[in-house]
């Protein structure tokens, strides 16, 4: 199977329809047992797009870090979070949409069109939204957002790992790896764990 890299065709189509500021939006952190969910919104400059943008999962950590700095220097970017408490209050899907809303609304240049990674779009925005399944592999703007969100969240989990060193968050970013599960078994649940997620809920219920 030939791997097709993301391109600027969705953004260009929106521009041709009269939209000026097209934002790509993506989130990271639905699957982890700990930490917030993070979203990024990115409006690329069509005349100054960093080389090598792709789905963040296909890039090395070193390459993501370099592109993170390039994107923030050359595009309009906003990063936003939904907290563990918000995830527990409204569920992970709605919390990820809340983070997306905050990211789009926080852009220094107001977007008038947004390309959203996934099947569903958040409610609450007053301009057109276009969902793109696997959008981070199809749209350069969404790819840029995926990189920014992942690097930001990975760094955040490294910081949290300094305070709670028993779970390996600096390596697993809060995902349910064997190391993380072993830490939970030995040290219990931290304030940053998502108590409504089944593995954490089960530990608390059994405890």
pLDDT in tens, the chain (207 residues): 445 799 999 999 999 999 999 999 999 999 999 999 999 999 999 999 999 999 999 999 999 999 999 999 999 999 999 999 999 999 999 999 999 999 999 999 999 999 999 999 999 999 999 999 999 999 999 999 999 999 999 999 999 999 999 999 999 999 999 999 999 999 999 999 999 998 898 888 765
DSSP per-residue codes, the chain: -PPPPPBSHHHHHHHHTT---EEEEEEE-SS-SBS-EEEEEEE--TTSPPTT---GGGS-HHHHHHHHHHHHHHSEEEEEEE-HHHHHHH-HHHHHHHHHHHHHHT-SS--SEEEEESS---S--SS-EEEETTGGGTBHHHHHHHHHHHHHHHHHHHHHHHHSTTS-HHHHTT---HHHHHHHHHH---TTB-TTSHHHHHHHHH-
Q: Give the pLDDT score at 1.
A: 43
Cα(200)–Cα(69) distance, integer angstroms: 35
* CB contact at 8 A, 92 and 37: yes
Cα(175)–Cα(64) distance, integer angstroms: 19
Q: Give the pLDDT score at 168.
A: 97
Q: Give the pLDDT score at 205.
A: 75
Domains and CATH numbers, the chain: 9-159 (3.30.420.10)
Beta bridge partners of 130: 115
Nearest to 72, CA basis, from 97, 40, 106, 113: 40
Global pTM reads 0.95
């Amino acid at each position: 199977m030939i791997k097709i890299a993301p391109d600027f065709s969705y953004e260009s189509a929106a521009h041709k329809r009269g939209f000026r500021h097209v934002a790509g939006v993506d989130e990271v952190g639905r699957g982890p047992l700990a930490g917030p969910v993070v979203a990024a919104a990115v409006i690329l400059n069509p005349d100054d797009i960093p080389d090598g943008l792709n789905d963040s999962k296909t890039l090395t950590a070193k390459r993501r870090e370099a592109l993170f700095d390039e994107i923030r220097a050359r595009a309009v970017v906003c990063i936003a979070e939904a907290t563990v408490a918000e995830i527990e209050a409204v569920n992970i899907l709605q919390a990820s949409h809340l983070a997306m809303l905050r990211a789009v609304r926080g852009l220094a240049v107001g977007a008038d069109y947004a390309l959203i990674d996934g099947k569903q779009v958040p409610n609450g925005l007053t301009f057109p939204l276009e969902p793109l399944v696997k959008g981070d592999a199809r749209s350069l703007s969404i790819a840029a957002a995926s990189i920014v969100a992942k690097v930001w969240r990975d760094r955040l989990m490294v910081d949290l790992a300094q305070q709670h060193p028993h779970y390996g968050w600096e390596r697993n970013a809060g995902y349910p790896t064997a190391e993380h599960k072993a830490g939970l078994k030995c040290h219990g649940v931290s304030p940053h764990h998502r108590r409504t997620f089944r593995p954490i809920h089960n530990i608390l219920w059994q405890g």
